Structure 1
Amino acid sequence: MTSNPLDYGRLMQRALRSVVHEALAVAVEDGLPGEHHFYISFDTSHPGVDVPDWLKAQYPEELTIVLQHEFWDLAVTSDRFSVGLSFSERPVKLTVPFDAVLTFVDPHAEFGLKFDPHEVDDDDELGELSDLEDEDDEPEPTPPAGGKGKGEVVSLDRFRKG
C-alpha cells in the first residue's frame, strides 16, 4: 500500500497507460487512420487476462499482438480492452487489462511505451515506467500474432529516437 498520494512514478504510469486507452478508443471509433498500427505486448499470466488455454500454453509469459489489417470486435472499457484476432487461422477473442500491457508501439508514428511489470503498486497494480534508454532491461521480443502470413519479430530499439 502506498502512503504517499504524490507517488509521481505511479501517477506517470497511470497517465501513460491512459495513452494506450485513448489510442485504442480512437481505433474503436474511427478505425486506424492511415498507416497507423499497434504492437501490444502483454503478460499472459496477469490476473484478468483472458486467452484460450492452448494459446496461453504457447505463450505462458508474454504475447505480442498486432492490430493492423485483420482484427475485429475491438472494445475498450475503463480498465481493459478486448479484440478478436486470428492465430493460425483460428479465431480468438482476447481480453487484456491495461495493467497487463508491457509494451505499446505504433511503428508508423515512431512511438512506443514500455512498462515495467516488476514495479507493481498494491493499490492499483500500476508499476513504474522503465527507462526507455536502458538497453540491459530490453525484453526479448515475442513474435507478433494475428492476421495472416508470417509475423515479424520487432525490437523496440528500432522505434527509439536517439
Structure 2
Amino acid sequence: MSGGIDYGNLMHRAMRGLIHDVLTDVAERGLPGEHHFFITFDTQYPDVELADWLSDRYPGEMTVVLQHRFDDLEVGEDGFAVTLSFGEAPERLYIPYHAIKTFVDPSVEFGLRFETQEDSDEDDEDEDDPTPPEGGPERPSDGQHDAEVVRLDSFRKQ
C-alpha cells in the first residue's frame, strides 16, 4: 500500500457533502426555526458565477447570508445557485462547493472552515517554529483543501 490514508481529503469531501445535504433540505422544505447561514466563498474560484459589479466589489472573497431574502435555491452535485437581493436588485449566484471557505449556522453555533495549502503556508510564515504542534498532523503539501470546525467566537461582535 503506497501513500496511506488521506484523512484530510476524506474529511474535506464529507464536509462538502454535509453542506450539500443541508442545502438540499432547505431547498425542499425551507429554513426551519431560527436557522440561517453565513457562507463565505472565493469569488475568483473557477465556475463561480456572479454579476461583474459584485466580483469587482469583492475581488477575493464574499460572504452571503441565506436567511429571510433568498429565492430559487437550486442544489447540485458540484455547487448551488441562489437568487439574493442586493439593495432592491436581485442577483443570481452560482457557488461551487469547492469555492466555499466558511459555512456557519450561528443559530446552533455550528461552523466549518475550509483551508487551502496557501492558507496554511501563510500561517506558517507568521510562526518562528515551523514544526507542527505535538500530536497534530502535518498539512498535506499537495495543495488540497483541508476541513476543520470553526470557532464561532471569530464571528461574534466584540
- What is the aligned residue count? 135
Q: CA deviation at 1:19?
A: 1.1
Q: CA deviation at 1:32?
A: 0.3
> What residue ranges of structure 1 are gaps of 5+ in the alignment?
134-153
Q: CA deviation at 1:89?
A: 1.4
User: Which secondary structure does the structure 2 equivalent of 1:85 belong to?
Assistant: strand
User: Which secondary structure does the structure 1 equivalent of 2:147 belong to?
Assistant: coil
| Structural RMSD (CA) | 2.5
Q: CA deviation at 1:36?
A: 0.4
Aligned counterparts, 1:136-151, within 5 A = none
1:91-112: per-residue Cα shift (whole Å, max 9, x none)?
A: 1000000000000000111100
| AA matched with 1:83 | V
Instruction: Normalising by structure 2, report the TM-score.
Output: 0.76
The 8 Å contact of residues 38 and 66 in structure 1, kept in 2 or not, is answered as: yes
Aligned counterparts, 1:31-110, within 5 A = 31-110=30-109
1:129 alignment partner in structure 2: 147
The 8 Å contact of residues 103 and 114 in structure 1, kept in 2 or not, is answered as: yes
The 8 Å contact of residues 72 and 83 in structure 2, kept in 1 or not, is answered as: yes
Q: CA deviation at 1:41?
A: 0.5
| AA matched with 1:49 | V
In structure 2, the CA distance between the partners of 1:126 and 1:36, relative to structure 1 (3 Å rule), is: farther
| AA matched with 1:91 | P
The 8 Å contact of residues 43 and 61 in structure 1, kept in 2 or not, is answered as: yes
User: Which secondary structure does the structure 1 equivalent of 2:117 belong to?
Assistant: coil
How far apart, in 2, do the equivalents of 1:20 and 1:5 lie?
A: 27
- Identical aligned residues as a percent: 49
1:156 alignment partner in structure 2: 154
1:42-80: per-residue Cα shift (whole Å, max 9, x none)?
A: 000000100011110000000100000010000001110
In structure 2, the CA distance between the partners of 1:97 and 1:5, relative to structure 1 (3 Å rule), is: farther
1:112 alignment partner in structure 2: 111
| AA matched with 1:110 | E
Q: CA deviation at 1:130?
A: 4.5
How far apart, in 1, do the equivalents of 2:70 and 2:153 lie?
A: 22
Instruction: Normalising by structure 1, report the TM-score.
Output: 0.75
> What residue ranges of structure 2 are gaps of 5+ in the alignment?
120-139
Larger Rg: 2
